[in-house]
Every structure is written in C-alpha cells, then in structure tokens.
C-alpha cells in the first residue's frame, strides 16, 4: 500500500475544514431563523457557500474560516465578491421562482477558536 502524498492529505484536510465551517455557518443562520435552501452551489460563474431564506429575503452567504475573525473579514476580496454576485445571478436564472424575493449578500466569519459572526449585508453586488 502506498502512502498518500502530503499535498493530497492537505487538500483533503482543507476540504473537511471547509465542510465543517459551512455546517457551523448553516447552524448559525438556522438559529437566526433562516432556512438553508442550498449548500455549495456551483455555477459557471463560481460557487456560493450557502443560500438561505427567511420570509421574502433570499441570502447568498460566503463562509470564511481563518485564525481570527478579523483575518476572516479581510479575506473576502473584491474579486470574490464579484464572483459571488455573478454566481448568484446565474443561480437565479435557473430558479426564476426566487427572483421576486429581496436579496442580500451576507458573510459568516469563523475563527478557529470557535468564535463566529454573521454579517448581514456584508457586501453589495459588484460587476
């Protein structure tokens, strides 16, 4: 039996941390009354971590896990915000029944210490 290369182990560990972070974020949003509609939505424009709904509000949520909450906040770059907005547009093209809802772009910041912060309206759509 051959050993798994270190790079493969690191990728798997990062993937597992990402899934766990998204689960924490979904739990946090659920505690605030949101229904999680979808996770890890892939479109031609990019991926959306979580899509949630609360009444007539549809939220596209980016999840960021870093060492600290401030590191997580600073990791949401303009290029990513544009990609998320474009992915949201692509998602809505395939789900016209949701297009009538109010929309918002949120972020859930997570620190490895366990701290978490939901940022409603973390950014505006940028194209």
- Looking at the 3D structure of the chain, how many domains does it have? 1
Give 117: exposed, middle or buried? Use CB within 10 Å, 0-12, 13-18, 19+.
Answer: middle
Q: Which structural domain, as residue segments, surrounds residue 58?
A: 6-123
pTM of the model: 0.89
Residue 15 in any domain: the answer is yes
CATH number at residue 67: 3.40.1350.10
pLDDT of residue 126: 59
What pLDDT tens digit does each residue of the chain (127 aa) get? 468 788 888 888 888 888 889 999 999 999 999 999 999 999 999 999 999 999 999 999 999 999 999 999 999 999 999 999 999 999 999 999 999 999 999 999 999 999 999 999 998 875 4
pLDDT of residue 2: 61
Helix-strand-coil split of the chain, %, nearest 5: 40, 35, 25
Cβ–Cβ < 8 Å for 51, 41: yes
Residue 1 in any domain: the answer is no
How far apart CA 101 and CA 83 sit, in angstroms, is: 21
pLDDT of residue 15: 81
């Amino acid at each position: 039996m051959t050993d798994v290369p270190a790079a493969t182990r690191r990728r798997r560990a990062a993937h597992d941390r990402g899934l766990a972070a998204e689960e924490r974020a979904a739990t946090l949003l659920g505690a605030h009354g949101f229904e999680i509609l979808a996770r890890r939505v892939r479109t031609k424009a990019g991926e959306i971590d979580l899509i949630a709904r609360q009444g007539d509000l549809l939220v596209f949520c980016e999840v960021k896990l870093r060492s600290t909450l401030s590191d997580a906040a600073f990791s949401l770059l303009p290029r990513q915000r544009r990609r998320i907005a474009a992915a949201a547009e692509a998602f809505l093209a395939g789900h016209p029944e949701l297009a009538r809802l109010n929309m918002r772009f949120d972020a859930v910041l997570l620190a490895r210490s366990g701290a978490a912060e939901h940022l409603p309206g973390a950014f505006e759509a940028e194209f």
